[in-house]
Each structure stands twice: as structure tokens, then as C-alpha cells.
Structure 1
Amino acid sequence: MSFTIRGQAAKPNLKRMKFTVKTPLLVLLLITLAACERESSPTTTQPRPHLVEVVEAQRIDLSVRRERTGTLRAIQEIQIFTQEEGQITELPFFEGDRVKRGEVIAKLDDRLLRAQLNRALALQKKSETDLNRIRDLVERRLTTAAELTQIETDLAIAQADVAALETRLGFLTLRSPIDGVVTERRSEPGNIADRYAHIMTLADQQTLITEVRLSELLLNHLSVGDTVELYIDALRTGSAAQTPLYGEISRIYPDIDPMTRTGTVEIALHPVPLGARAGQFVRVILQTQRSERLLIPFIALRRSTAHPYVFIIDDDNRAQTRAVQTGLEIGDQIEILEGLEPGERLVIRGFTNLRDNQQVTIVGSASNGSNR
């Protein structure tokens, strides 16, 4: 490339510019570029460190607290059915009335059955008279043993008829099987009750119970007789609503639902506080006994198709995968039953592209009790 220069104000003459490059100038340019490239390129490439944040696994002495909701119901509720048909002649109790065990709560018309019973009694008496007469004749050899057998059979049938009718007459008078409260009255005197008609419901409300579903992991830490906090929101308002009532675990059902892995716990509220009623909403606070648990932050747990695992950082600052067996979730932490020892360092941040046996750089350590 050449320029025409004239005096101090030399300017390129674009019309006379020639795009030609001489060989010495080209060689000099290539040498200069090669030198610049060698200076800009490092002699070795340093890999970027893999940064991780860790936390130590710790044993913590604590209890597990869980809140569940349920519905209060009477410990015993009995539906009263008729066993005979007939017209209701007495039904003295209404909803809310208290009844005692053995007290008459309903009566049906018994005239037809009583007439049948009188007929059966008359046949029984006749059979007894005939039997005494036939026995005397048999002793004097004036009749056969077959006739004696027939009379004995007639008497047995008459006695059975009497017993059956007396039993059916007893069904026409209904008595309360428990001390309780009438919760439902389904008919009125004068109505015709069919056989097996539901006419009344009684409930023993001296003790109220509720049932809640719990994880199989928590059930193993509860026992029958454990004290439980209860809150019945309908009984109190304002700050008093936070005052707990107390019940106890009265039954732990033996079966576990195979789909949800939960079981049923029955909780009894006794004595029943004033105003508590079956059907009310109740909040249940269950708390296990204090014990030492090995806890890690939930975010440290990794999951695969085979089993959960964590990344452990060894003394050489290398990441190692470790399979673990988990227990209860407690807040933002999870209990480890097997696979870890207290004091081991776990990765809680920096999982991207992290591999087994990879060298890492620790940039921070978090407290196990921190919320993340």
C-alpha cells in the first residue's frame, strides 16, 4: 500500500491508492502476530475449583411435636331397634334426656302376643295332665309306650312355644342398655313400628374420644396412656382459646394402611369439659418423649431410584457418596437412622456437577440448626 505525500499535510490519495503488499512487510507482520499470540496464551490451564458449603451432622436431644385434627364422638353410641312389629304405646324420652341402664325407653302393643302366650300355656297345661294320666296307664299296662312318647313330645312342643312367646313379649318392652343421653328420637307413640325399625339412639358422653391418623414412624414413639394436648375451638374465644385441655391415648390400632403408611390413634377426653359435645372440631397435639436424634438439613439429602444418599467430605476434601436410612422429618431437618456418624461433614450447597471422589473447596460451614 503506498500513499502520495506532499509537504506537512500529507493525506492519502484514494484515487491513486494501490492495494499491494511487499514481501518483507508481510513477513514482519506475521512474526509480530505470532509473538503477540504467544504472550497472550498461558503456558498451562488451571481448573476452576468446585465450591461447596457444608454442615456437620449432630445429635440433638428433642421431642417430636405434631398437630392433627379430628372430630369428637361419644365413646359408646347405641342405636335402638325393635325386634317385633307393633304399635308404639310409650316413648317417654326426647333428645337430650338422660336415661339409666335398665330404664324402659319404649313399649309396643303386646295384646296379640299375650293372647298367643295364653293359648300356648293352656296347651302346655293340657299336655301335662295327659302325661300324668298316660304314665298311670302305662304302669298298669293299660296302654302302650308309644302313646306315652307321643304325649311327652306334645308337652315338650307346648313348653317350647311358651318360652318363644315369652321371649317375644320381652322384645316389646325396650330398656336402655347403658347410662347415657338420648341423641336421636325417630318415631312417636301411635306409630306402627316394623320389625327391626330404628326408633332411638343413645350415647354415653361421659367420655368423648377422637381418632387421628399418624405416620408409622411416629407411632413407634407413642404409647397407650401418654398425655395429649387438646384444643376445642368452639369452647373458648380470644386468648382463652389457647388454653389446652388434656386427654390420653386410649388405644393404638394395630394395623397400618399399606397405601399411606399411617395408623390410627384413639384419644380419650375424660372428664368431659363443660360445653364439649360429640361432633365438635378438635385439634390434637402429640408430643413424643425426648430422645437423642441424629439430624441433618433436609436439603443435604439426595435421592436416587435405589436409596437416599448424601455427599460426605472426607479429610482430603474429597466428596464421597453415602447411602443413608431416613426417619422422621422435623421442621427443615430429617432424622438419619443409619449411614452417618455425628461430626461428619455434609454438602448442603454446590451439588451441580458434583461427582463421587471429586476434589472440592469448602467456602462456608452452616449451623445444623439454621433454617434453609
Structure 2
Amino acid sequence: MRKYFFVGLALVLVLALMVIAYGAYLNDRGESQITLRMEERRVELVGVKADRRELHPLIKFSAVNLYANRVADAVALTEGRIIEAYAAVNGYVHKGDLLFRLENDNIALSIQEAEAGILSAEAELARATNNFDRYSKLRMAEAASPQQYDEAKAAYVAAQGKLKAAVAKRDMLLVNKARCEVRSPIDGTVRIIYRQPGTYVPSGTSLALIGNYNEMYFSHQVSDNRVQRLQQGQEAEFVFPGKEFKNLENMAGESAPDQVFHAVLMEISPPLSEPGAARTLLWKLDNPLGLLTPQTYGTAYLRLGVRADALCVPLSAMTDKTRQAVFVYRDGQLERKAVTTGRDDGEYIEVLSGLEPGEIVIISGTDHLQDGMKANVTLRGEQDGR
């Protein structure tokens, strides 16, 4: 019996070993097949050839703060009540034009008092003059004492001084009266009127804002590597969305078309000849129709001059926000290549180095691609015709 028991046990062990070996064989075969399938797997992608083209470099701003170089307030130089306003918003004025007229009853009364004071001082001077002349003659005839002569002379000099003081007081009041007329300090357009007729204003109150808005200015900071190919005097275009101009909406409330303004790069600070990690650019915008005003606009685009014959690829070919790599399709596989990029126009970006014309770059699904992956690539424009 023991013999049969050990024979059966041996058979069971042999069968168990055979099952284990067969399972290992199947597992290894399955992994090999999966690996083979993964190696043969190809992702379907869309690509485009790097090509030379004209490029209009575009810089987008989320906020543009425009200002005018020549802006001044028309200020009340004396207190008073505004009785007339001759200025109108958006009206053009010349330096010295009358904008407001003030009324100050105290000045008028003070002028009357000063005029009366002048008359009194003139009468007093006349009496002192006659008295001094009389004592001068008497003194020459030795009919008056030196003391009497000196007293008459002193009274004459004092009367002269009193008259001069009265005239000076009257003249100062006349100056204040003239200040009741508020005039434009510069040539320009009236942008804001701060006070209306009937308002009493103290001295020093700003009544209107006037500026020359034919030229507007805007400055922004950029990194040094983004500005190296710009130069002072370079021309460009500032494009503002039509929605920024509510006054140009049509009767149906539809936004105006985008407004384009000629611009010139006035200054690069610090200059390119000096080292610096960042530089400030100052742009001048031509504004002949006065559509732009000193304020912050929500969105604007700076379109630089045409850069001809630039090697470009779509922005969608960039693998991340740094714009320093693309996936190139070659011999059925993907290759991640480092590139140096320049400016873009919102759709295409300039490639300064790292690519050759005609190389196919991937423009779809770049987030999950890896170097060496196999792929089937269809050139953009051909997928619709397949």
C-alpha cells in the first residue's frame, strides 16, 4: 500500500510542476506579445511642414495704459462762483482762450474801496504838495523855521507813499478780478469739465482738463532677448478691438470694427548698447481723430512690421509654454527636438534654430507624446481629403 501511495504522490507532484511550467510559458508568451504589439502600435497624428513665410509679429497686451504728454488743468486762481462756462467736452481750444468766468462780490467791493482810497490819497497828496511848496518858498525867504520845512516835506513824502500803496492795492485787486476769467493754459482738446456754472470754487480748484491727444504714449517692459531685434524709430501698428470704443457702436448696438493706429518706437531703456535683463519700450501712437483717450484699455495687440522669409511653424507645434521644443516626424518615429523661437503672429511662430525647412512637426496631441514613439502622420489639409 505504501508503494502505491508514493507513486500517486509522485504523479501529483509531476502534474503540478507541469501546470506551473505551462502557466509560466503562457505568461511569458503573453508579455512578449503585448510588448510586440506595443512596439508595433502607432498613434495617429497631424503634422505640418516647417516652411518659410512672411510673418507679422504680434504682441498681445491684457491691459494698455495710454497717456498724453501734454496735459494741463485749467485752474481757478481765485475763489468765486462760476457764472459762465465757455468750454465744451471734446472741444478744441487755444492757449489763452476764455473757458470760465467767475464772480466774486468781495473783489468788486474791494476795488470800489480801493478807488475811493486812491481819491483820498490823491487829495491828501495835493494838500501836502501845496503845503510843501509854500514852506519851501518861506524857507528860502527865511520866513519859516527848519522844523516847519522838515514837517511839510515829511508830510509830502508820506502822502506820496500813501498814494502808491493805494494804487498798488487797487492794482492787486484788478489782478484778482482778471483771475475771475479762467483761460486755457495750452492748446488742446477739453477732455473733462470738473465744475459747472453755479458752483462756488475756492482758489486752486481744477475746472477742466485740457490736453493734446493727437499723440498718445504707452510703455511696457520686455525681457532682453525679446527686444534685441527692435530699434528706435521702428514702426508698428496698435490694434484695439472695436468693443473698446462704445461711442462708435451703430444704432443696433453692434461693436465697431477693430481700430488700427500707427505707432513708432520712441525709446528703449536702457539702450541696447548697455547690459540689462529687461528693457522698457516707449511707443508713440498717432491719434488724429481723437478716438483714443488717456485711460486703461482692456485688450490691445501690437503688430510689428513684416518679417519676410522667416522659417515658421504653427504655435500648436510647441510642446509647452516655454516654446523651446517640437516633435519632428522622421522614418515613422517621433523625435523631440529643441528649438530657438522668435516672435509670433498669434498663429505662427518664428523658428530661429533647431529646424530645417521641410521637416514635419506634429501639431496635434503633443501633450502626451514621447521621444521615439511610432506614429502615422497626416499632413494638415490632407486629412479632409482622405
Which of 313, 318, 324 pairs up with 1:296?
Answer: 313
Report matched runs for 1:39-118 at 5 Å.
48=39, 51=42, 56-64=49-57, 78-85=72-79, 87-88=80-81, 90-93=83-86, 95-96=88-89, 100-101=93-94, 102-104=96-98, 105-109=100-104, 110-111=107-108, 112=110
- Kindly provide the amino acid, as one letter, of the partner of residue 325 in structure 1: T
CA distance in 1, matches of 2:290, 2:321: 50
CA distance in 2, matches of 1:351, 1:97: 53
Q: Within the alignment, does 1:236 sit opposite 2:250 as a pair?
A: yes
- Kindly provide the amino acid, as one letter, of the partner of residue 78 in structure 2: E
Following TM superposition, by how much is the alpha carbon of 1:351 offset from its aligned partner in structure 2, in angstroms?
Answer: 7.2
**Conserved 8 A contact 2:311-2:350:** yes
Q: Within the alignment, does 1:325 sit opposite 2:340 as a pair?
A: yes
SS in 1 for 2:77: coil
Following TM superposition, by how much is the alpha carbon of 1:260 offset from its aligned partner in structure 2, in angstroms?
Answer: 11
How many residues were matched structurally? Answer: 319
SS in 1 for 2:350: strand
Following TM superposition, by how much is the alpha carbon of 1:34 offset from its aligned partner in structure 2, in angstroms?
Answer: 9.1
Question: Which residue of structure 2 lines up, in the alignment, with residue 11 of structure 1?
Answer: none
Q: Residues 223-245 of structure 1: CA distance to partner in whole angstroms, max 9, x if unpaired?
A: 67655566345442459855565
Question: Which residue of structure 2 lines up, in the alignment, with residue 201 of structure 1?
Answer: 208
Following TM superposition, by how much is the alpha carbon of 1:57 offset from its aligned partner in structure 2, in angstroms?
Answer: 3.0
Q: Within the alignment, does 1:363 sit opposite 2:376 as a pair?
A: yes
Structure 1 unaligned blocks of 5 or more:
1-17, 127-153
CA 1:193–1:362: 2 relative to 1, 3 Å = closer
**Conserved 8 A contact 2:238-2:303:** yes
- Kindly provide the amino acid, as one letter, of the partner of residue 79 in structure 1: D
CA distance in 2, matches of 1:339, 1:204: 50
Q: Residues 148-182 of structure 1: CA distance to partner in whole angstroms, max 9, x if unpaired?
A: xxxxxx9xx98xx7899476665444222336448
Q: Residues 225-279 of structure 1: CA distance to partner in whole angstroms, max 9, x if unpaired?
A: 65556634544245985556554326757569x9999867553432358xx9998
Q: Within the alignment, does 1:271 sit opposite 2:286 as a pair?
A: no
CA distance in 1, matches of 2:21, 2:232: 79
- Kindly provide the amino acid, as one letter, of the partner of residue 313 in structure 2: I
Which of 262, 268, 271 pairs up with 1:248?
Answer: 262
SS in 2 for 1:363: strand
**Conserved 8 A contact 1:88-1:188:** yes
Question: Which residue of structure 2 lines up, in the alignment, with residue 10 of structure 1?
Answer: none
Q: Residues 92-143 of structure 1: CA distance to partner in whole angstroms, max 9, x if unpaired?
A: 43655957432333245444479779989x89xx9xxxxxxxxxxxxxxxxx
C-alpha RMSD of matched pairs (Å): 6.4
**Conserved 8 A contact 1:252-1:266:** yes
CA 1:113–1:185: 2 relative to 1, 3 Å = farther
CA distance in 1, matches of 2:298, 2:169: 53
CA distance in 1, matches of 2:312, 2:171: 70
CA distance in 2, matches of 1:117, 1:295: 83
Q: Residues 314-361 of structure 1: CA distance to partner in whole angstroms, max 9, x if unpaired?
A: 789684653x33333544554333443334455666776846xxx554
Question: Which residue of structure 1 lines up, in the alignment, with residue 138 of structure 2?
Answer: none
SS in 1 for 2:86: coil
CA distance in 2, matches of 1:20, 1:61: 89
SS in 2 for 1:267: strand
Q: TM-score, normalised by structure 2?
A: 0.52
Q: Residues 186-222 of structure 1: CA distance to partner in whole angstroms, max 9, x if unpaired?
A: 2546x65422123x215468x5677778784599499
**Conserved 8 A contact 1:58-1:342:** yes
CA distance in 2, matches of 1:97, 1:313: 60
Structure 2 unaligned blocks of 5 or more:
126-160, 271-275
CA 1:118–1:21: 2 relative to 1, 3 Å = farther
Q: Within the alignment, does 1:335 sit opposite 2:330 as a pair?
A: no
CA 1:238–1:74: 2 relative to 1, 3 Å = farther
**Conserved 8 A contact 1:228-1:249:** yes
CA distance in 2, matches of 1:310, 1:332: 15
CA distance in 1, matches of 2:340, 2:101: 61
- Kindly provide the amino acid, as one letter, of the partner of residue 248 in structure 1: H
CA 1:176–1:338: 2 relative to 1, 3 Å = same
Report matched runs for 1:126-275 at 5 Å.
165=172, 170-177=178-185, 178=187, 180-181=189-190, 183-184=192-193, 186=195, 188=197, 193-198=201-206, 200-203=207-210, 216=222, 217=226, 220=230, 226=236, 231=242, 232-233=245-246, 234-237=248-251, 247-249=261-263, 254=268, 265=283, 267-271=285-289
SS in 1 for 2:204: coil
SS in 2 for 1:196: coil
SS in 1 for 2:208: strand
